Amino acid sequence: MDKKTVSFRIKYEILDEITRLMPETGAKNMSEFVINALMECLNDEECMKSFDEKMLKQGFSQF
């Protein structure tokens, strides 16, 4: 598999998962779902801690 194929597969897997979860969250569209998910994480200390740790591991120390 080349990079483009992998990229498309990941993209469509993510879109499928969002589509599957949208009715459970009450989101009317994908944009609303993504915004709600981001806001949920920003309001959750454990989620932000996990995000910060991942960024540090990847070398993004400015976060």
14 falls within a domain:
yes
Confidence of residue 63 (pLDDT cuts 50, 70, 90): very low
Number of structural domains (the chain) is 1
Distance CA 38, CA 48 (A): 10
Question: Do residues 25 and 33 make contact, with C-beta atoms less than 8 angstroms apart?
Answer: yes
Dist. CA 19–CA 17, nearest whole Å: 5
Domain that holds residue 47: 3-57
Residue-wise pLDDT for 4-56, tens only, equals 888 989 999 999 999 999 999 999 999 999 999 889 888 888 887 887 887 78
Any domain includes 62: no
**Residue 63 placed within a domain:** no
